[in-house]
């Protein structure tokens, strides 16, 4: 938009409008209809982009619109999908439903697309239904895992949640299942949760991107092992990248015996060890925290000079990406 320099009858002086000067006998500039309409359309365009209704008697709308556009842009700039602030999800008793809450979380249209920050997110997931607020398709998996996504309609501002069967696949950071409910155009992975034999959400509690579960025995053995793969698929989902829990050593003989148990990734990284000499009936418990590099798999080494050693591994929480 510019001054109507191409309209000779506008009477511009030095390229700008001037008032009539009766004393000097000079006429004032005229505002062509095309220019007046153009200026109005420019202003209305900004107001419309901010999703504000144009009001004839409100002369502050252009400023309001600019402020709103700047505020909206600041909320979208530099956004990474799945950022969570004070996120929580708790299932005290196995259930088909649960409420995910977060003071703020971020969603994106694609990993490289437009991002949005959602405030005061609080939505109920119901695995018994399909569509927004339920499964994206089909029924909840039995003895498997569901990925939960925050979903967002950038036109209406509507927020919701969507569950996806992620039992055998790593759930992506942005929903890509092809079953997004109509109108929703942005999403983010906010949880990955286990289901029981009836397809209900198992007992657990989430804070941030860490899920706490009832202490689960992932291994119990009495034979010696050397960097043997241990599947933990029945305890943590494919998205888990770290686990925490307990290592237990038990001596069932009446001889002072050496025990050594090592947990590591399949490439030997993140080693955690419990080592001790135990007398008859003695035991040792040790906490550990270690990465999971190969999905749902760690390595375990068990060594002892005891005739009947007992080695146990428990998992009490996992972090997901």
**For residues 218-254, b (16+ Cβ closer than 10 Å) or e, as one string?**
bbebeeebeeeebebbebbbbbbebbbbbbbbbbbbe
Which residues, 6 or more positions from 67, have their beta carbon under 8 angstroms from its beta carbon?
none
Is the pLDDT at 123 greater than 80, yes or no? yes
Half-sphere exposure of 257 (CA within 13 A, CB side): 22
Query: Binning pLDDT at 50, 70 and 90, where does residue 73 land?
Result: low
Query: How high is the pLDDT of residue 8?
Result: 77
How far is 255 from 268, CA to CA, in rounded Å? 31
83: pLDDT confidence band, cut at 50, 70 and 90?
confident
pLDDT at 272: 94
Burial class (CB in 10 A: 0-12, 13-18, 19+), 59: exposed
Secondary-structure class of domain 213-320 per CATH: mainly beta
Which tokens sit at 182? Answer: 């109509």
- Residue 43: the pLDDT is 82
pLDDT for 15 equals 73
Is residue 115 within 8 A of residue 186, CB to CB? The reply is yes
- pLDDT at position 42 over 80: yes
Which percentage of the chain shows pLDDT scores above 90? 68
Closest CA relative to residue 247, chosen from 308, 304, 312 = 312
Average predicted confidence (pLDDT) for the chain: 90
d(C-alpha 179, C-alpha 193), whole Å: 20
The CA distances from residue 264 to 143, 158, 183, 215, 239, in Å, are: 26, 44, 45, 20, 18
Write down the domain spans for the chain.
Answer: 8-76, 84-207, 213-320
* Rounded Cα distance, 150 and 81, in Å: 10
Phi, psi of 66 (to 5 degrees): -60, -45
> Which is nearest to 284 in space by CA: 255, 257, 307?
257
25 vs 303, more confident = 303
């Amino acid at each position: 938009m510019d001054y109507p320099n191409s309209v000779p009858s506008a009477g511009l002086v030095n390229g700008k409008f001037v008032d009539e000067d009766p004393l000097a006998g000079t006429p004032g500039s005229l505002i062509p209809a095309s220019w007046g309409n153009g200026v109005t359309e420019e202003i209305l365009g900004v107001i419309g982009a901010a999703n504000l209704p144009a009001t004839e008697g409100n002369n502050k709308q252009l400023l309001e619109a600019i402020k709103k556009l700047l505020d909206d842009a600041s909320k979208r700039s530099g956004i990474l999908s799945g950022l969570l602030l004070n996120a929580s999800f708790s299932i005290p008793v196995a259930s088909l439903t649960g409420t995910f809450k977060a003071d703020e979380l971020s969603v994106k249209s694609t990993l490289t697309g437009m991002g949005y920050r959602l405030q005061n997110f609080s939505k109920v997931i119901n695995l018994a239904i399909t569509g927004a607020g339920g499964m994206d398709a089909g029924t909840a998996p039995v003895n498997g895992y569901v990925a939960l996504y925050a979903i967002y309609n950038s036109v209406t501002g509507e927020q919701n949640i969507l569950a996806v069967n992620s039992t055998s696949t790593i759930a992506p950071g942005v929903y890509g299942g092809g079953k997004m409910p109509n109108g929703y155009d942005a999403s983010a992975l906010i949880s990955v949760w286990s289901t029981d034999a009836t397809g209900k959400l198992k007992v657990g509690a989430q804070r941030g991107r860490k899920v706490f579960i009832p202490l689960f025995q992932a291994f119990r053995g009495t034979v010696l092992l050397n960097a043997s793969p241990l599947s933990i698929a029945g305890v943590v989902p494919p998205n888990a990248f770290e686990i925490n829990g307990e290592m237990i050593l038990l001596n069932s003989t009446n001889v002072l015996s050496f025990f050594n148990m090592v947990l590591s990734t399949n490439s030997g990284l993140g080693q955690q060890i419990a080592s001790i000499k135990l007398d008859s009936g003695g035991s040792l418990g040790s906490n550990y925290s270690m990465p999971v590099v190969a999905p749902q798999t760690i390595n375990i080494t068990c060594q002892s000079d005891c005739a009947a050693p007992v080695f146990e591994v428990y998992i009490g929480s996992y972090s997901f990406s």
